[in-house]
Amino acid sequence: MTQNENLKALSEAGVSVWLDDLSRDLIHGGELQRLVDEKSVVGVTTNPSIFAAAISGSDSYDDQLHAMAVRGVTVEEALRTITAADVRDACDLLTPVFERTGRDGRVSLEVAPGLAHHTDATAAEAAHLWWLVDRPNLYIKIPATVEGLPAITETIANGISVNVTLIFSLERYKAVMEAYVAGLEKRAEDPEASFEGIESVASFFVSRVDTEIDKRLDAAGADASLKGKAGIANAQLAYQAYEEVFSSDRWAALEARGASKQRALWASTGVKNPEYSDTMYLSELAAPDTVNTMPGKTMDAFADHGQVGRPVTETYADAEKVLQSVRDAGVDLDDVFAVLESEGVQKFNDAWDELSTSVAEQLQDKK
């Protein structure tokens, strides 16, 4: 089958195209394979909201739910059995991509969001999920909270690939890269330890930054021309930080032993404001060795009319000016990022609670 030319151009610019969605119907109905064949999709990300929508919106889970209801399993066990099964099947579907690239062909599964502020529990669940899915092309998603950082280090040291999620600020992103490098260094203390197969991405959120900052710019009566620019500028400067960290002598020592760079992943790339270009978080963030995970609607928009924009490496000075102008307008960026992290954890908690309630009700109905 022929690849879509616009998405192919994005891939050729160095961007791995990942789908931010997953369901049993998507896997077994052939749609995910079609996206791989026709739209350059080489990875999948999930979160509690995605699974809540998948399970509540399909009868494809009925037989499995009935079997678990008869067995009297707990809601927690049912949740993990269902989500692990879907992620495992998606990993299997993407295995040819994984074997071809080594870095892509991966699927992400998130630790329970209620553990976001508990280091040891996060690391323990990461190990459990890695064992449960049992596929080398799995990513365990761990939130980039302060408590999540040492869990990232521990998980990487244990040889488990990690997708670090909910990153909003440059400061936290740098701490995430430090956690990854520290995890590899800890693993390297064992001269027999290998870095083979260990990968990581750092999911830097984009559109949510604009939503929060635009709201504050409006409240401050700031120049409207500043709106819709901070999210991209923030991400562009994140890529600058990525280049600095992974060109250092410290990194070179790990790379010489076979370590892979932690790629920047652009998340939250669906445009929230209909006045903005529906492809801007893809077009303006094309850079070598990055990932862009996108909802199906955004992917379709880029396939239809998206174009690769200016290279990110040429944007750093302008990006600095944008963020400084936002600060000068009275927006406290530190507070913005703190609010977004707190809201992000809460949204995933709410989705997890919704998912738990839905599964509990279905288990009861199917007894």
Residues that are catalytic:
141
AA letter at 367: K
- Rounded to an integer, what distance in angstroms lies between the CA atom of residue 90 and that of residue 105? 9
Q: Where are the beta strands (DSSP E) in 245-295?
A: 263-267, 290-294
> Strand, coil or helix: what is 242?
helix
- Rounded to an integer, what distance in angstroms lies between the CA atom of residue 9 and that of residue 40? 10
- Of all helices (H) and strands (E), which one includes residue 215? helix 207-220
AA letter at 240: Q
Q: How many CB atoms lie within 10 A of CB 96?
A: 11
- Rounded to an integer, what distance in angstroms lies between the CA atom of residue 135 and that of residue 120? 23
Q: How many CB atoms lie within 10 A of CB 30?
A: 12
Q: For residue 179, give every residue at least 6 positions away whose Cβ sits within 8 Å of its Cβ, in sequence order, or none.
A: 149, 150, 152, 153, 156, 164
